Amino acid sequence: MPPHSALPPDDPMSIAFDEARRAAVAGEVPVGAAVVCDGIVIARAGNRTRTDNDPTAHAEMLAIRAACLRLGSDRLPGCDLYVTLEPCPMCAAAISFARIRRLYYGAEDPKGGAVDNGVRFFHADTCHHAPDVYGGIRAQEAADMLRTFFRERR
């Protein structure tokens, strides 16, 4: 992923939505993410599983990796993650391991989510770090984007 310049965090969720729309144009499931640290968007990504032939290339994973590279650290304790869809178990684990401070997400994912649905990863006894979680941000918009994407493929 090419590095992005620092962007003002006026609305990091809008940046995540921009990344989700880019992913959809590339034929990827429209999920986007942005990492904010010290008031600056330091990383952003959209899903790239098909593009990269990599099942771990979820928007959250890519944004976390880019943020860690940018900061030269495997942990992001002062950073917040904005994502358009409730993270899956893999992404929830990465969020925990990265020590993300706050997670903001859009639509819930009753089938594949692991934050407020499914395994509820951050509530497990084995979870080492749980971020503060704020779900439902622009949830309808995120859900509509996903529904439209899948409807057009059927």
Residue 60 a catalytic site member: yes
Residue 59 DSSP SS3: helix
Q: Is 128 annotated as a binding residue?
A: no
**In the beta sheet, which residues pair with residue 104?**
82, 134
Q: Which of 19, 28, 60, 86 is catalytic?
A: 60
In the numeric block, which tokens belong to residue 42? 């330091």
In the numeric block, which tokens belong to residue 62? 């890519």
Q: Is 91 annotated as a binding residue?
A: yes
Q: Is the dihedral of CA 101, 84, 124, 64 positive or negative?
A: negative
Between CA 66 and CA 63 the distance in angstroms is 5
Q: Is 79 annotated as a binding residue?
A: no
Report, as residue numbers or ranges, the catalytic residues: 60
Binding site listing for Zn(2+): 58, 88, 91
Binding site listing: 58, 88, 91
